[in-house]
């Protein structure tokens, strides 16, 4: 009997098969499919140029699927900050630099990567839907629901709190975070009167060495 050479498969390659299998299993169980929520896509801006290119290509695969794999009942929803295109795709020159860098290698693999990366960048640049600030009715309903949940979780009757001033620039998660923080503080000290303020945090798009090393590690496993 002849021997067979069995090479190990990278975890990154196996992950595609696992996602395809689980999504079909979910569908076979009677559900419509699987929705993947991918948060903080703006972290791509802190990778090196080539890592950003690979990440954009991955975005295309998760959003539009891959020709290498049969269609799976998966829908991907990505979130990012609203200035990503201006700060990274345009500001760092990714629209131009990535195709130029990959074309310079003059290899089929990089040519295919370039096609996917360009498509991924276009998804981030032109297919975004901006989240709208919640209206008063949405805030009132959410406030009461979270107040009931907080009361049930800690077996108490949370008092009414002010939270944030209702402004069109505030996001729902800011209101939720403020309400929960104030209830937590009052529960610990009923005499405390909390007052929440908002501070804008600037996003750093400089390349992060730790993220770069993590990316390289994941690729090698």
Q: Give the pLDDT confidence of 57-113 residue by residue, as tens digits.
A: 999 988 887 666 667 788 899 999 888 999 999 999 999 999 999 999 888 999 999
pLDDT digits (tens, 9 = 90+) for 197-214: 888 878 888 888 777 777
3-state class (DSSP) for residue 36: strand
| Closest to 18 (Cα-Cα) out of 36, 6, 42 | 36
Predicted TM-score (pTM) of the model is: 0.78
| Rounded Cα–Cα distance for residues 8 and 130 (Å) | 43
What CA–CA distances, in Å, run from 163 to 125, 154, 158, 178?
34, 19, 13, 5
Q: Which pLDDT belongs to residue 82? A: 86
Pick 56 or 209 by higher pLDDT.
56
pLDDT digits (tens, 9 = 90+) for 10-46: 777 788 788 889 999 999 999 999 999 999 999 999 9
CB 38 within 8 A of CB 58: no
Q: What angle do CA 211, 112, 74 make, to 5 degrees?
A: 70
HSE (CB half, 13 Å, CA atoms) of 176? 12
Pick 221 or 180 by higher pLDDT.
180
CB 186 within 8 A of CB 159: yes
| Rounded Cα–Cα distance for residues 9 and 14 (Å) | 7
Q: Which pLDDT belongs to residue 50? A: 93
């Amino acid at each position: 009997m002849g021997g067979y050479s069995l090479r190990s498969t990278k975890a990154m390659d196996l992950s595609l098969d696992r996602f395809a299998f689980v999504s079909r299993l979910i569908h076979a169980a009677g559900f419509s499919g699987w929705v993947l929520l991918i948060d903080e896509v703006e972290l791509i801006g802190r990778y090196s140029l080539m890592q950003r290119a690979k990440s954009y290509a991955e975005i295309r695969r998760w959003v539009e699927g891959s020709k290498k794999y049969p269609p799976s009942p998966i829908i991907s929803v990505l979130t990012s900050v609203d200035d990503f295109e201006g700060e990274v795709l345009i500001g760092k020159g990714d629209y131009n630099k990535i195709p130029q860098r990959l074309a310079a290698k003059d290899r089929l693999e990089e040519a295919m990567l370039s096609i996917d990366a360009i498509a991924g960048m276009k998804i981030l640049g032109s297919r975004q839907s901006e989240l709208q600030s919640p209206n008063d009715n949405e805030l009132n309903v959410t406030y009461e629901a979270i107040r009931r949940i907080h009361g049930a979780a800690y077996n108490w009757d949370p008092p009414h709190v002010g939270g944030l001033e209702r402004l069109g620039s505030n996001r729902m998660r800011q209101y939720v975070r403020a309400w929960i923080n104030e209830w937590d503080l009052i529960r610990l000290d009923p005499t405390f009167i909390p007052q929440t303020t908002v501070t804008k945090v600037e996003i750093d798009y400089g390349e992060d060495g730790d993220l770069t090393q993590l990316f390289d590690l994941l690729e090698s496993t």
